[in-house]
Amino acid sequence: MKKYCIGIDVGGTTVKIGLFEINGKLMEKWEIPTRREENGKYILNDIKQSVLEKITHSDIDISDVEGVGIGVPGSVTKDGTVLGCVNLGWGIFNLESEVKELFPNMTVKVGNDANVAALGELWQGSAKGYLDAVMVTLGTGVGGGIIIGGKIVTGATGGAGEIGHMPVNPNETEHCNCGKQGCLEQYVSATGIVRTAKILLRESDEKSALREYDIEKITAKDVFDCAKARDIIATMVVSEFGYYLGTAFAHVASVVNPEVFVIGGGVSKAGEIIIDAVEHYYRKLAFPACKNAEIILAGIGNDAGIYGAAALVAEND
């Protein structure tokens, strides 16, 4: 292994880039805008230019860079094919081959962003030292990543770790973005938490601090803040959140029995209240042999993507 590697997290608005020592130390990170125009055709070249420029202006020799890892917001199959990234304007193509052409003589690895973030938490985040981990990223949507024996599980068609689309409520009448009804994402994403709050506020006459907010502008953070202040409606919302995520974790445990569940994404900033809500149901619902899995908060926040992308290269064997 050479001395350095690059980790890249491609999002719909910005591309985050990190220059790492191969042992996991982040030396420098920066961002460039994601140019989505013309089906995102400039994105990869923009990345190449930015990386080469950064290296040129550093005291690092490019021959000391082992390779480039990239996480993208879409399914990625084992051979490096992306099956479309709506947020980037990308269709189906072999991303790994294209990036290899831009960075000749380097190791190039690509993956789904949520899978890659899970690897990042395992490499240098709060799951460091574990081998079998499951991460769920709670943001506008819900992403997931499954790590077994230190390696990302990709699945037959890049769909492994799509925990957000587990069917957890057969009685749901509203549709998820994926077209199905009753997906986990409808209850535990930031959007889902707000949706539950609105439903409970509508269905109940109970006093609540949430009624003092502009109902159209309530955020998941508001809900957790009110629950921490012992608001009844907010507490019920958090409890429903915990029930669905705890149920999903019990399902996951029956399949891969991880050592640890890591909860990340914007919603996880609410802190320990999240863990308490999920543990309450998980410990009840999980198969006895799997009950004692750790449930922890993510440790490297928005940087999990670049760490994990770098780990694709640094941990490649």
Q: Which residues bind its own copies (CB under 8 A)?
A: 75, 83, 132, 144, 146, 148, 153-167, 170, 178-180, 247, 250-259, 284-285, 287-290, 292-293
Give least dist CB 171 to its own copies, A: 10
Nearer to its own copies, 125 or 158 (CB): 158
Give least dist CB 292 to its own copies, A: 7
> Which residue is listed with tokens 């914007």?
266
Nearer to its own copies, 257 or 302 (CB): 257
Give least dist CB 20 to its own copies, A: 27
Read off the DSSP letter of residue 154.
-
Give least dist CB 261 to its own copies, A: 11
Nearer to its own copies, 1 or 290 (CB): 290
Give the total residue count for the chain: 317
Give least dist CB 121 to its own copies, A: 16
Nearer to its own copies, 226 or 312 (CB): 312
Give least dist CB 284 to its own copies, A: 8
Is residue 98 within 8 Å of 72, Cβ to Cβ?
A: no
Contacts of 56 (CB under 8 A, 6+ apart): none
Give least dist CB 293 to its own copies, A: 7
**Dihedral angle of Cα 74, 78, 83, 86, to the nearest 10 degrees:** 10
What is each CA distance from 188 to 112, 234, 241, in whole angstroms?
20, 14, 5
By CB atoms closer than 10 A (0-12, 13-18, 19+), residue 221 is: middle
Structure tokens at 24: 């996991």
Q: Where are the alpha helices (DSSP H) in 7-42?
A: 37-40
**Three state DSSP letters for 4-45:** EEEEEEECCCEEEEEEEECCCCEEEEEEEECCCHHHHCCHHH
> Which residue is listed with tokens 């995102």?
40
Task: Return d(Cα 196, Cα 218) in angstroms, integer.
Answer: 11
Task: Return d(Cα 136, Cα 143) in angstroms, integer.
Answer: 6
Nearer to its own copies, 60 or 148 (CB): 148
Give least dist CB 102 to its own copies, A: 27
